[in-house]
Amino acid sequence: MKRRRFLRNSLLTGTVMSLGGLPVKMLARNRFTQMANQSTNDRVLVILQLHGGNDGLNSLIPIDEYDLYYSRRANIAIPKQGTNRALIELDTTLPQDARVGLHPDMGDMKKLYDYGRLGIIQGVSYTNNNGSHFRGRDIWFMGGGANDYYSSGWIGRYLQKAYAPLTYPDDFPNNAMQDPLAIELGSDVSLLFHQQGNIPASISLGGNPESFANLINSLEGFTDEGIDPRGKPPAALNNSPYGKELNWILGLEDKTEDYADRLSQVWDASAPATVTYPETYPFNAPASAKRNPLSGQLQLIARLLDGGGAGQGVKTKVFLLRIGGFDTHADQVETYDPTMGVHATQMYHIATAMKAFQDDLKARGLEERVLTMTTSEFGRRISSNGSYGTDHGTGGPMFLFGPYAKSGVLGNVPNLNLSNVEMQYDFKQIYAAILKDWFEVDETVINNDILFRNYLNGPDDNGGNYEPLAIIDTNIITSVNQFMQEKFSMQPCYPNPARDRVTFTYKINAFTSVKLVLTDLNGKVQTTIVDEIKQPGEHRVVFPVNNLAPGQYIYSLYAGPLKESHKLTIIK
């Protein structure tokens, strides 16, 4: 591709790619053949930043402390019952001090939870939480404390160690690693990806995913015009500080050619999603908040990871994407309905887009490779203000998505008698657990080179001890099945064989459609025993069978994630 033509296309599409935080044109010839000493697994981390400070108490509503919750924020409180848009109880089997309900627009999060694809961590913060958006974001990105001012980010340091002894960008791309080490969807490169003493180990894809798709589909490869218009200094200046700096910058520009060609090939080889991603919020909300900003970004990640299957997708280790609109000082809810408004749209966008993303990854055979984690610079205060909003707070919940995320709720409902949500877990404990159990990084490297402190079981800032966090499942088949069976199950019917009547017993953990059918051995339905919406809990059905012919039958129960069938023998 002609350089001028690429620049023209970039301007027309509004898309900018940057390498190491420097705008570049598009990607370079392979010069390096060294093998990277990278992580031995192919796991990927997607970080979803909730930009502005998410209100955790209207995301996870206390159930047993509901009256106190309502008294602290009556003008924005989500109804407990009595309306079709009341809170959705997450899990009736949780301990009393951990029972929460989801915002009514988070129904798809409930589905992910029931299918063992969602873990929740309550009260995540850090000592002396800083209430500034910018400083707070930096603290989370650098992986430090309130008094730390690192010039690097925890992911940048992780990537620096994972690919040692090679260094980025000098030794990349190479035959072992043709892809960007990390990709940020947006126009900037965050502190998250900065390396120690080096440039960020990531590229940023600015603009929306649609414009990026148009751009990479138009790439035709680099054609050298035989003229270098870049202001190359005379050869005599090559070893001068000016010459060395300019050569380094031009080298970054050259590297962009390889990355662009690679991403273009991966995109072209991958198929569009077979699942439907949400596009707009279906209820009343400001027009500016209606469009789902995550769907395009998540589809882009899924396609890049897929690349046509059979391991042809990118090996990029970390992706960062954002959804804004969480700085809800005013008009967090509609005055006439606290279940609607800006915050409701954000909850809907996250829940529906993440459900589609998980379904997309599963359809592509990628689900077990990807873990998604949410972050937000702080939570909101427990009490609402007079403007139907909430002000800057401290702690809040984090969400982990994927089959390796340990399903359930870690931590208790916040103490609602306080001004702010108190810290139950330091966010760096979550980072340490992800590094250790997801990326399989040695604990010594975590403590000495990435987080600079033993956040797995060492002393915290107040002299206490950090307990190890079990938030990643190492055996997903056993753990996910066990989690689901604890929430949704069917006991063997009795008596069996039966003569007159049969008792069926099952347990569900959600308001869900339940269908219990009896078929013959050829699959023909003989009778439908249950076909209605049932509430959470244990249910028992006594059904007469004396009008059915003797023989063998199959009884099948369909209830949320539960699909179970067994044989029943009827005798005379």
pTM (2 decimals)? 0.87
- pLDDT level of residue 268 (50, 70, 90 thresholds): confident
The mean per-residue pLDDT over the stretch 57-64 comes to 98
Query: Cα separation of 96 and 407, whole Å?
Result: 18
Q: What's the pLDDT tens digit per position in 193-237? A: 999 999 899 888 764 434 444 554 454 444 445 445 555 556 666
Asked whether residue 12 carries a pLDDT value surpassing 70, the answer given is no
Tell me the range of 88-97, 283-292, 458-467 where mean pLDDT is highest: 88-97
CATH class of the domain at 488-570 = mainly beta
CA 495, distance to chain mean position in Å, is 46
Query: Cα separation of 9 and 223, whole Å?
Result: 16
> Domain-by-domain residue ranges, the chain?
3-479, 488-570
The mean per-residue pLDDT over the stretch 283-291 comes to 90
Give the residue among 133, 559, 100 at the shortest CA–CA distance from 329: 133
What pLDDT, on the 0 to 100 scale, is given for residue 537? 93
Q: Residues near 287 by Cβ (< 8 Å), separated by ≥ 6?
A: none
Q: Is the dihedral of CA 21, 12, 6, 292 positive or negative?
A: positive
C-alpha distance from residue 18 to each of 36, 114, 163, 183 (Å): 23, 40, 21, 10
What pLDDT, on the 0 to 100 scale, is given for residue 199? 87
Q: Spell out where 113-228 has E strands.
A: 118-125, 182-185, 203-205
Asked whether residue 24 carries a pLDDT value surpassing 80, the answer given is no
Q: What's the pLDDT tens digit per position in 496-528? A: 999 999 999 999 999 899 999 999 999 999 999
Query: Cα separation of 470 and 572, whole Å?
Result: 54
Give the residue among 422, 548, 409, 481 at the shortest CA–CA distance from 96: 409
Q: What's the pLDDT tens digit per position in 484-497? A: 888 999 999 999 99
Query: Cα separation of 224 and 226, whole Å?
Result: 5
The mean per-residue pLDDT over the stretch 385-394 comes to 97
Q: Residues near 571 by Cβ (< 8 Å), separated by ≥ 6?
A: 497, 498, 499, 550
Q: What is the mean pLDDT of the chain?
A: 86
Cis peptide before 272, with omega less than 30 degrees from 0?
Answer: no
Asked whether residue 137 carries a pLDDT value surpassing 80, the answer given is yes
Q: Is the dihedral of CA 303, 305, 310, 312 positive or negative?
A: positive
- pLDDT level of residue 254 (50, 70, 90 thresholds): low
Q: What's the pLDDT tens digit per position in 533-561? A: 999 999 999 999 999 999 999 999 999 99
